[in-house]
Amino acid sequence: MKKTILTTLLIGLASLAVNAQSSLTKTDTIPLKYGAHRTGNRTDAEMERWRSYGLGQFIHWGVYAIPGGQWQGKTYGGAAEWIRSWSKSSAPENWTSIYDNLYKQFNPVNFDAKAWARQAKQMGAKYVIFTTKHHDGFCLWPSKYTNYTIKNSPYKKDIVKEVVDAYNAEGIDVYLYFSIIDWNHKGYRSAAPKTADEIASYETFKKFTRNQLIELVKNYPTLRGLWFDGTWDQAWTKEAAYVDALDKELRKLSPGIIIGSRFRPDDYGKRGQDSNGNLIGDYEQGWERKLPASIEVTKGRDWDCVMTIPPNQWGYNADWKSSYIKTDYDLIQMLLHSVSLNGNLVINFGPDGKGAIRTEEGAIATGIGQWMQQNSEAIYGAKYAGLPKPEYGYYTLKGDKLYLTVFNRPVNNQLRLAIPQSYKKSLQKAALLVGNQSLEIKKTNIGIDRDSNTYFDVTLPANLTIDKPFVVVFDLGESNGNNKNYGDAKT
């Protein structure tokens, strides 16, 4: 039995990612042909670019936007983009066939890719993930490999192209969402094929999937990555060799492309991380609508969190009355939470059947954008600071600047920061990010000296009137022993 203790902890300023293997004890390694391609994070420029985004936009759009979660007075109840799978007993009569013909009405007269892109830019999104095809199989690009595409709708034009061009024109990177599940393809199945006929039929689906992916990568050469979904079927998870070869092929066709952890299964059908616990793909895609509670649970991996504004609705749902809708404040807090732990937050929008982004989403985008306009320095390119989470909000770090985004302002206007004595940097200067007003820092001895922290008090201006989160910037210097408590008596 070979035991390796990997104790690499990289919180240096050059490589800000904490190594995935930090302080893990690895025991037996299972031999895998199709496991992780590497054990640490990617270090190339494309991935560095991905890491610096902070904020992204997700868009779920397709024919499911027409019913918007309901049909003829009946409510589906599940996630609106899943409405095709409305169960027979509660669904309108002939529901599947109604749904499969909806594309004949897909004519989004209000769709304006440039307006979407402008709004995303104004919100501060650095990248967009756009649904080319969801589980229903309807393609928003004119795929050569099926008739179930935008080309055969009244709209006709290539929506993927319009989106790619418009977002690129705003300087926003484009990633394409692609569902492996395809309820429209005859060869698609969920259970692993067993009989010769089933296997032959599934082969047609595999070929089709490969063709479509190659088509997307070739059609839209500026794409930066693929965001896979619907890869959990047993039929797919048993195809490790096929998917591995396809992954390599796509990477060859599109050098630098970024593909998350939801594409390839390993030899044993494990997804996300392989049977040895190593991440498959370029970043962790498992934080869907969830945020890691600490840096430890991220295992030092790159990750994104895709977040819905309502509880779990991705495609347009007409009914936003029945549940809690996140506010721009909630989402800004999630953004800080994400960036403070080395993740990107991707906020989902679900345009309606006519192509309009609902006014509530527009207002949220505006609110976030106004905040980003003033405070994005604490977000873009910022990383985990190597410090425990402060009770007032979140730390992010960029170069020699430490940002504290304050959500919980103390009533006495004193931010008392507990800095571990082991921290390699010292806090030199403090100022409000907006307006650059400098703030006094005082070392504070409050008698708690057994917890290995040094306490610093930063006084906020009493006349600071602000009802939004705000940022305090610290200039960091080399630690000169400053963090140690002084004057401790011998006992």
Binding site for ligand H76 (CB under 6 A): 79, 81-82, 229, 288, 306, 314
d(CA 379, CA 291) in angstroms, rounded, equals 16
How near is the Cβ of 83 to ligand H76 at its closest, in Å?
A: 10
Say if CB 427 and CB 487 are below 8 A apart.
no
Question: Nearest residue to ligand H76, using CB?
Answer: 314
Kindly tell me which of 259 and 397 has the beta carbon lying closer to ligand H76: 259
d(CA 375, CA 469) in angstroms, rounded, equals 9
How near is the Cβ of 230 to ligand H76 at its closest, in Å?
A: 7
Kindly tell me which of 106 and 314 has the beta carbon lying closer to ligand H76: 314
d(CA 202, CA 217) in angstroms, rounded, equals 23
Which residues does 89 contact at the CB level (< 8 Å), separation at least 6?
A: none
Angle at 26 between CA 20 and CA 30, to 5 degrees: 105
How near is the Cβ of 63 to ligand H76 at its closest, in Å?
A: 14
Kindly tell me which of 280 and 378 has the beta carbon lying closer to ligand H76: 280
Kindly tell me which of 15 and 87 has the beta carbon lying closer to ligand H76: 87
List, edge to edge, every strand of the sheet that includes 425-432. 393-398, 401-406, 470-478, 425-432, 438-439
Kindly tell me which of 312 and 408 has the beta carbon lying closer to ligand H76: 312
How near is the Cβ of 288 to ligand H76 at its closest, in Å?
A: 6
How near is the Cβ of 99 to ligand H76 at its closest, in Å?
A: 15
d(CA 242, CA 261) in angstroms, rounded, equals 16
* 24: phi then psi, degrees, rounded to nearest 5: -90, 140
d(CA 19, CA 28) in angstroms, rounded, equals 20
- Write the burial class of residue 85 (CB in 10 Å: 0-12 exposed, 13-18 middle, 19+ buried): middle
Kindly tell me which of 79 and 458 has the beta carbon lying closer to ligand H76: 79
How near is the Cβ of 56 to ligand H76 at its closest, in Å?
A: 13
How near is the Cβ of 336 to ligand H76 at its closest, in Å?
A: 22
Say if CB 235 and CB 191 are below 8 A apart.
yes
- The residue whose two tokens read 């408590």 is 485
How near is the Cβ of 76 to ligand H76 at its closest, in Å?
A: 13
Structure tokens at 470: 């705000």
Say if CB 182 and CB 205 are below 8 A apart.
yes
For 268, left (φ over 0), alpha (ψ -120 to 50), or beta?
alpha
**Residue 183 DSSP symbol:** T
How near is the Cβ of 82 to ligand H76 at its closest, in Å?
A: 6
Kindly tell me which of 46 and 233 has the beta carbon lying closer to ligand H76: 233
Strand, helix or coil at 334?
helix
Kindly tell me which of 91 and 180 has the beta carbon lying closer to ligand H76: 180
Kindly tell me which of 228 and 456 has the beta carbon lying closer to ligand H76: 228
